[in-house]
Structure 1
Amino acid sequence: MESSCSWASLNECMRLYHDTEWCRPSHDDRYLFEMLVLEGAQAGLSWSIVLNKREAYREAFNQFDISYCAQLSDSDLERIKTDSGIIKNMLKIRSVRSNASAVLAVQRAFGSFSNYLWSFVDHRPIISHWTDEREVPAESELSRKLSKDLKKRGFKFVGPVIVYSYLQAIGIVDDHKISCPFHTRNRSEKNR
């Protein structure tokens, strides 16, 4: 059995993310918000760049405290842009605040951000059975549907391709190759 999906071998940070987080179901609203921010920050960049700046994001946005992020002022956002090691795109930085506010509204309406997101798949992850990484799509019907609904609710940087990556990141979709030891089926077999 191969050790992992090939993209994970780019560097240690990518390998660790692949082995411990990618495609693992999460229901923690703070983590779900963190990954939404990071996936949006990736737009036009490599995931490796974003992962290398992850600690700077955590520090800049108070460990992704949703209420804190929703209350950031314009001057707070300017200070974060200037003083932190995050990606300096101001539209992406502002989206942290607007997305935090949108998450709070979703939490009020659905009880949690997790309930909202997982309702799109009837609270069951989609487990793919790819034999080759080239089979993995860039977007899906689900990512288009969720993207449309997120945009309607005021979320930013949530196009269907970003949303598909997000669904992988939070474990709603498992796109590990079937031969990867971290595919849901293989992780389950190890635990028997």
Structure 2
Amino acid sequence: MKSVKNITQSTLAIKKSQFITTLIPCNDPSQINQLIQKYRADDATHNCVAYIVGGSIKADDDGEPSGTAGLPMLNVLERQELSNIIVIVTRYFGGIKLGAGGLTRAYSNAVVQALDEAEIVEKTLVKKYQIALDYHFTKKAEYLMRIMDVKLIATTYDEKAHYTLYIRDPAFLEQLKELTSNQFYCQEIGEDYI
């Protein structure tokens, strides 16, 4: 699956109108509305939106003539085979009308330009785990994480060391089992695209 690595913004000026494109990576459909509210500009003439997140697909013209903004933006995402992405094009009207064809080109070009500036990455679905182990295993466990390319998300300490991590290769858990003589706690707590 291809998506953008980071939130990316780009500005395109056409006949005195400003088209500010914001590309937002999003893996969780429940966050779509919150992210749109966060990155839309309340003082803008229009905040047109298109997204493909999981099975959720939407295009919104936000007051522009029907089919001239959201759908052309969505078409760009689909042609580039992107997913888990939200795109918002914020328009500040400059006083010159562009017509239906001009609007369609403007919104499409704004998204294309932003994608050219963004870092596109291949993301894979990876399982997320919570692991707890005794302190005397931490140095060896952390070394194993580094050599097996395990992505550490968070570490907390109380009576044990607790790690939250993404594990691509299940062989890591077998190695950890051997390293600790099976004296560790492990629970799968979800999965995410990384």
TM superposition score normalised by structure 1? 0.23
Which structure has the larger Rg? 2
Q: Larger relative contact order (C-alpha < 8 A, sep ≥ 6)? A: 1
Structure ranking higher in strand proportion: 2
Higher helix share: 1
